[in-house]
Chains A and B, each alone.
Chain A
Amino acid sequence: MATKTFEIRENYVTRIEGHANIWAEVKDGKVTGCRLEVPESPRMFESFVRGREWWEVHWITARICGICNHSHQLTSLRATEDAFKIKVSDQTYWLRVLIDDAEQLESHILHVAYLVAPDLFKAKSVIPLVSVAPEVVKAALRLKRLANDMFLYLTGFEVHCMRMCVGGFTMYPTMDELKKLRQALDERMQDFMLLADTVLSVADRLPKFERETEYISIKHDKEFPFYDGKLYSSDTKKTYDNSEYEGVVNEFVVPWSTCKRAKHQRTSFMVGALARCNNNSELLKTGLAAEVAKKFGYKAPAINPFMNSVCQLIEIALCWERSKRLLDKFIADGIEKEPPVKPNLKNAGRGIGITEAPRGLLIHDYTYDKSGKCIKANCVIPTNLNSGSMEDDMKSLVPKLVDEGKSPEDIKFILEMLVRAYDPCVSCSVHLIER
């Protein structure tokens, strides 16, 4: 049949952060090629951060990505503090946990409501949804504002904030600001439930596709981890020290692709919300997160990559409740205006920071000299780590869709949905290669 031979090409997939192309070729019903290409221009942060001073490196590397800028700052600060053997106070630790929760909230709401939901409603963007479901769109806008207000009060700004610094903070929120945020979390709760229920009403439109793979994230035994935890693989069921990360992520270049890949136990592995929930599922057994998981029928380990958006909703619930708890604690105890811990330059050496950005594992690795200048940097970015998994999913999904008799247009649409499900953030382009 003539329709069984076709080519799918979508340059610059929309509603993702950064640039990615998808390509697939089907001849006589057989998939003969399948690729994810990344034509993002190289910006070379790891090169120009060399020679910069310890106090400004996080200010520079945050600019790798506007969407996960708080994650980059947090990871960068952890790496620099590790390099100078700085231990931050408990207050700084928990404020950062709170800020990282806000980062997940903001990014996940943006992703689920603006970037994924339009697909489920067969709309081209959030704009047509304004006339279809104005209350939901307005609720999503209010939710995103809430997360942005958390940034404004806790870090000074929504994108590329200034108050987080090596050793602590330059400035702290006022009691009044903390109370405002705490109140907003109660008031906006119904907005979140409306968003979750709206997604739930169309969740059966998420493609049914399963592919078992290795899930890598950080793991923690008490607090669901974004800011702090140990590197963990679902295949080996082992945790790894930070210093072992290179042996876990194994970045490599494939000549037919345009972007660095990573592999550990298989041809690729997956990072992100799904990996985190699968690897830390024992921390999702109570509270709002458990409620949301139950609503959507999430049970660990889930192996449908489209469930990543559902896991983001679970994580929103989790961050929501933890933020309330941490704000209550700060309101009860008060915030002490601690000055940041200063580094002893004599301690300079290599430092590694590993956290979870909204879209997955994020690693910064710096070496400093005794004058406090950075002499070497390596950043490992979740979208690079996921690009092999996205392509492996495509290779497994396209033959299935062809067998089901789907049209080339439908296949293209589902592949775009797949790429969006991973919530790629291609601007995080430190490693990305243009051919």
Chain B
Amino acid sequence: MSKPKVAFFDFSCCEGCQLMVLNCEPELLDIFGAIDIVNFREAISDRGEDYEIAFIEGSIITPHDVERLKKIRAQAKVLIALGACAHTGGLNKLRNFQDTEEAKKCVYGEDAKYFDVLPKVLSVGEVVPVDLVIPGCPINRFEFLSIVKQVLAGVKPSLPNYPVCVECKRNENECLLLKGQICLGPVTLAGCDARCPNSQWPCTGCRGLVPSPHLEADQIVLSKAGLTVQDILRRYRLFYGYSEVVK
């Protein structure tokens, strides 16, 4: 059986999710053995265009990005959004709550005219159909390995359908909300093993909202902690910029 041909493509992001793939040091040689990586610009110089599986990292920010992504979609049998920027648009969507022209001026001053950016930052799924997502900022490498194995075995992987709190409780962490910290664990999709609360840092929602989140209840909890509607929106906008709840 020939090995499946796999490509990694990066759009606008920090490339930290590709780095998390390279950070699978103990498994990396097995990965190279099981798949044929034909395109992975950050790590290899070959550039094959005959891939079947495409991992897409990053958000879609320029008209050129849109065209490039559409070409990849036309080639790939399976297209996987790798990490928050591809999955939801990630933190890049903070720009969608600002006036684009003003934002450009803020960063580049009079040279802003050199830019050609889309009026809104888009996720991969807002441009082309996506077959699978691996959420997180950055991704969880164990979840990445598990999803890769399932795809290679022809099984359709599924993500958890419960919030980060479930994993956090399982890890016996002290609840940060009870300690007065603003944690978005109750409404955020699990699968990260609650890695932020494990380190006493509140969940900021990087994996996106859990299916059917109890947002009213969450907002009551957050307002009890002294947050105004504006404060709550600011928290939600960090990573929920893709969702209706922050509009």
Interface residues of A (CB under 8 A from B): 12, 14-19, 39-48, 50-52, 56, 59-60, 63-67, 69, 110, 114-115, 118, 124-127, 130, 137-138, 141-142, 144-145, 148, 156-163, 165, 170-171, 253, 258, 427, 429-431, 433-435
The answer to whether B107 touches A17, judged by C-beta atoms less than 8 angstroms apart, is: no
The verdict on A41 contacting B65 (CB below 8 Å), with A47-B98, A114-B43, A162-B196 known, is yes
Chain A proximity mask over B153-176: 1 for CB below 8 Å, otherwise 0: 000000000000000000000000
Cα separation A66 to B137 with both chains bound (whole Å): 10
- Give the segment of B9-17, B71-79, B124-132, B143-151 that binds chain A: B9-17
* Range class of the B interface residue count: 35 or more
> Within the assembled complex, what's the spacing in Å between the Cα atoms of A165 and B62?
33
**Inside 8 A of A157's CB, which chain B residues have their CB?**
195, 199
Known: A18-B15, A42-B115, A66-B18. Is A156-B92 also a contact (CB below 8 A)? no
Q: CB distance A433 to B108 under 8 Å?
A: yes
Total A-B contacts with CB atoms under 8 angstroms apart? 176
Q: How far is the CA of A173 from the CA of B37 in the complex (A)?
A: 37
Residue of chain A at shortest CB distance from B33: A130
Q: A170-B200, A434-B115 are in contact. Are A124 and B45 (CB under 8 A)?
A: yes
Tell me if B103 counts as interface (CB < 8 A to partner A): yes
- In the complex, the answer to whether B61 meets A124 with C-beta atoms within 8 Å is no
B42 contacts A15, CB within 8 Å? yes
From A44, A427, A431, give the contact of B14 (CB < 8 A).
A427
> Which residue of the partner chain, among A126, A137, A165, A429, contacts B43 with CB atoms under 8 Å?
A126
Known A-B contacts: A433-B114, A433-B115. Give 20 more (CB < 8 A): A12-B41, A14-B45, A14-B47, A43-B92, A43-B95, A45-B107, A60-B94, A63-B91, A65-B16, A66-B15, A69-B14, A124-B44, A125-B40, A125-B46, A141-B29, A144-B22, A162-B195, A163-B200, A171-B200, A431-B108
Separation of A56 and B32 alpha carbons in the complex (Å): 38
Say yes or no: is B178 at the interface (Cβ < 8 Å to chain A).
no
Question: Across the interface, do B18 and A124 meet the contact criterion of CB distance under 8 Å?
Answer: no
- The minimal Cβ–Cβ distance linking B133 to chain A, given in whole angstroms, is 18
B150 to chain A, nearest CB (A): 23
Query: What are the residues of chain B within 8 A of A17 when measuring CB–CB?
Result: 15, 42
Q: How many angstroms from the CA of A65 to the CA of B196 in the assembled complex?
A: 19
Q: Does any Cβ of A come within 8 Å of B25's Cβ?
A: yes
B26 touches A41 (CB 8 A): no
Which residue on B lies nearest to A379, using beta carbons? B107
Q: Nearest-CB distance from A157 to chain B (Å)?
A: 6
B45 touches A15 (CB 8 A): yes
Among B16, B46, B115, B198, the residue within 8 A (CB) of A66 is B16
